[in-house]
């Protein structure tokens, strides 16, 4: 019977291959349908995330899965080899980018849906914020992997996952100053933003009357749901890295594969969610772009702010007519 690590590596190979297929398909649909155009600036963030996920999954496919299957680092110095450190550093750059992007997506949704009078997420604004994440992520990764005296993160087939290269008596600087605060903050921001969206929909749902506004409202809810599910995968990915070591301990190390599994699900969430649930992407992949829903309204006016003034105007007219009759 084959050892457990062979089954884990084989499963990861199948999972990553399917996730890469989904990402490539979605990127093709976005490119073909020009969904990143001025009408849909939200797809600028999505395209950036999909690119990050593609590189991250490719890194696992090229290095981590073979390392796990053959039970070797492939380099003589192991986790201290510069090639392994380089691969792990790429992982950290992409992880920090993904973390910051979760915050950007949540703020984008709550701003577009609830505070549309603030025209922050225009096409240029969205592009600025999306590109600006990368140098921040790169800086954080350089500090955590090369500058801090301890303790960089690395791929490690021994634990079927990732681990900090800790040194006795030295503080884990990346985890203390970067990873834990950043992951926690991003989760709090996502929870607050999506909770605010739910509250906003509950309060203003009764004020949406026209068929056009109802359709746009449903579209906004659909986008918010997609981003929410992506954020859930992200939250599960980083929290499992925290609680599973406490539950597992030093025995049955193969159980740590659930850490890397949750991470892989996090990296593939964008592609899978868009591929299976986004009607615009699905319509383009079916070669029928005309059947897709309306374009994202993240660049346009908020559906609620459009509808409420109309109702107020109608109320004023009715009030004026009543006063004349009286």
**Tens digit of each residue's pLDDT (9 = 90 or more) over 44-67:** 999 999 999 999 999 999 999 999
pLDDT over 70 (residue 310): no
- Which CATH superfamily, name and number, covers 4-325? Rhodopsin 7-helix transmembrane proteins (1.20.1070.10)
pLDDT over 90 (residue 325): no
Q: What is the mean pLDDT of residues 181-197?
A: 92
Which range has the top average pLDDT, 107-111, 152-156, 236-240? 152-156
Residue 205: how many other CB atoms lie within 10 Å: 11
The predicted pLDDT at position 41 comes to 77
pLDDT over 70 (residue 308): no
At 116-149, the pLDDT tens digits run 777 788 888 899 999 999 999 999 999 999 999 9
The predicted pLDDT at position 219 comes to 65
What are the CA-CA distances from residue 309 to residues 132, 208, 224 (Å)? 36, 11, 24
Question: For residues 115 and 208, which has the higher predicted lDDT (pLDDT)?
Answer: 115
- pLDDT category of residue 309 using cuts at 50, 70 and 90: very low
The predicted pLDDT at position 38 comes to 54
pLDDT over 80 (residue 216): no
pLDDT over 60 (residue 168): yes
The predicted pLDDT at position 267 comes to 94
The domain spans of the chain are 4-325
At 270-303, the pLDDT tens digits run 999 999 988 888 989 887 544 444 344 333 333 3
The predicted pLDDT at position 93 comes to 97
At 64-109, the pLDDT tens digits run 999 999 999 999 899 999 999 999 999 999 999 999 999 999 998 8
User: Could you write out the three-class secondary structure of the chain?
Assistant: CCCHHHHHHHHHHHHHHHHHHHHHHHHHHHHHHCCCCCCCCHHHHHHHHHHHHHHHHHHHHHHHHHHHHHCCCCCCCHHHCHHHHHHHHHHHHHHHHHHHHHHHHHHHHHHHHHCCCCCCCCHHHHHHHHHHHHHHHHHHHHHHHHHCCCCCEEEEHHHCEEEECCCCCCCCHHHHHHHHHHHHHHHHHHHHHHHHHHHHHHHHHHHCCCHHHHHHHHHHHHHHHHHHHHHHHHHHHHHHHHHHHHHHCCCCHHHHHHHHHHHHHHHHHHHHHHHHHCHHHHHHHCCCHHHCCCCCCCCCCCHHHHHHHHHHHHHHHHHHHHHHHC
At 1-36, the pLDDT tens digits run 789 999 999 999 999 999 999 999 999 999 888 877
Q: What is the C-alpha separation between 48 and 8, in angstroms, rounded?
A: 29
- pLDDT category of residue 305 using cuts at 50, 70 and 90: very low
Question: For residues 236 and 57, which has the higher predicted lDDT (pLDDT)?
Answer: 57
The predicted pLDDT at position 147 comes to 96
The predicted pLDDT at position 112 comes to 81
Which range has the top average pLDDT, 117-131, 205-219, 250-264? 250-264
The predicted pLDDT at position 258 comes to 93
The predicted pLDDT at position 198 comes to 82
- Judged by phi (left if over 0) then psi (alpha if -120 to 50, else beta), residue 36 lies in alpha
What are the CA-CA distances from residue 144 to residues 79, 81, 147, 222 (Å)? 15, 16, 6, 37
Place of tokens 């970067």: 178
The predicted pLDDT at position 302 comes to 39
pLDDT over 80 (residue 215): no
Q: Considering the entire predicted model, what is its pTM? A: 0.83
- pLDDT category of residue 42 using cuts at 50, 70 and 90: confident
């Amino acid at each position: 019977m084959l050892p457990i690590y062979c089954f884990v590596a084989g499963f990861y190979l199948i999972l990553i291959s399917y996730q890469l297929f989904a990402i490539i398909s979605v990127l093709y649909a976005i490119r073909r349908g020009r969904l990143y155009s001025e009408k849909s600036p939200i797809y600028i963030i999505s395209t950036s995330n999909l690119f990050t996920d593609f590189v991250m999954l490719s890194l696992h496919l090229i290095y981590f899965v073979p390392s796990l299957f053959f039970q070797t680092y492939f380099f003589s110095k192991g986790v201290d080899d510069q090639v392994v450190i380089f691969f792990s550093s790429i992982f950290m750059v992409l992880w920090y980018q993904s973390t910051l992007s979760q915050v950007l997506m949540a703020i984008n949704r709550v701003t577009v849906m609830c505070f549309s009078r603030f025209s922050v997420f225009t096409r240029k604004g969205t592009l600025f914020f999306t590109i600006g994440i990368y140098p921040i992520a790169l800086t954080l990764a350089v500090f955590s992997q090369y500058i801090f005296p301890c303790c960089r993160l690395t791929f490690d087939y021994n634990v079927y996952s990732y681990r900090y290269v800790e040194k006795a008596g030295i503080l884990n600087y990346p985890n203390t100053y970067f990873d834990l605060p950043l992951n926690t903050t991003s989760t709090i921001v996502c929870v607050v933003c999506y909770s605010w969206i739910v509250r906003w929909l509950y309060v203003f749902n009764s004020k949406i009357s026209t068929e056009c506004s109802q359709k746009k409202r449903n579209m906004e809810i659909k986008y918010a749901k997609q981003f929410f599910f992506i954020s859930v995968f992200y939250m599960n990915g980083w929290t499992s890295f925290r609680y599973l070591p406490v539950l597992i301990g030093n025995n049955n190390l193969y159980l740590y594969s659930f850490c890397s599994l949750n991470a892989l699900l996090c990296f593939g969430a964008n592609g899978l969610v868009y591929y299976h649930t986004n009607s615009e992407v699905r319509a383009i992949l079916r070669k029928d772009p005309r059947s897709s829903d309306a374009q994202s309204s993240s660049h346009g006016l908020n559906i609620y702010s459009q509808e409420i003034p109309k109702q107020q105007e109608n109320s004023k007219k009715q009030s004026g007519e009543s006063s004349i009759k009286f």
